[in-house]
Each structure stands twice: as structure tokens, then as C-alpha cells.
Amino acid sequence: MKYIAIDLGLKRIGLAYSAHKDLVTPLPAIIRKNRNQASDEVKKVLKEWEVDSVVIGIPLGGSSEDEMRRRIEHFMNLVDFKGEIFYQDEAGSSLEAENMMKGEIKYVRDGRIDSISAMIILQRYLLSIKKR
């Protein structure tokens, strides 16, 4: 199984890849100019990496869960991905990603933190299916 995790943000979209249950690699983030450009770029990445499944971070249980789920579903319709889509709780993943970054780089908004956040989301998902 090949997975891509998506940390969907309004400015940046973090991405991470895994073809092996124990190894997750952050990919370059997509800087979002508009929804069509962003969905086209995500579509290209999914094709390039020949992905079977997408794992998307979502704030589970919060007041914004329904709204976020609706936005994510709309975005993934634009991406037109035919594989399986899984949702994974993203609570605290951005903070965890920032804590992993050291020094000045932590404050650079180039998408690295977003992709590390996607990496954390995918690691959590892979851990959850390993426990099943």
C-alpha cells in the first residue's frame, strides 16, 4: 500500500508519503494560490507517487469537524482521487511538528512544518492500523 497524507491548510498543503509501514517521508508542501491550482498540484503528486490511499488530517470531535469534513470532501472531489480516503485526527500535529523543528527554521513559513505535520498524521494512522 502506498499512502500520501495531506495536512490541508488555507495557505499551505503539507504532504507526506509512505510505501512502508514504518517509514514516512515529508514531501515538499504545496503553496496554495487558489483551490483549482492546489487541487491540480495534489492530483499530480498522487499520480507521480502512484498512491493507493490518502490519509487526511481532520480535527476530530471539535466544533469544526463537520465543516472541515465538508471542505475536505469538496477539495478531494476537485482532486478526483479514485483510491481510498481515510481521516485521521490531527489534534496537536502542527504543534508537534513545530517542536521537532529547531531554531530559526521553526518560524519559516515555507511549508516544511505543514509537511512534517502531514508526516505525523500519517505515522499516527499507520500506527492505528498496525494495532488493529
Residue 94 predicted with pLDDT over 80: no
Residue 102 predicted with pLDDT over 80: no
Task: Please state the rounded mean pLDDT for residues 25-50.
Answer: 96
CA distance 8 to 11: 9
pLDDT at 105: 59
Task: Please state the rounded mean pLDDT for residues 24-42.
Answer: 96
Task: Please state the rounded mean pLDDT for residues 85-114.
Answer: 77
Task: Please state the rounded mean pLDDT for residues 66-87.
Answer: 93
Q: What is the pTM of this model?
A: 0.88
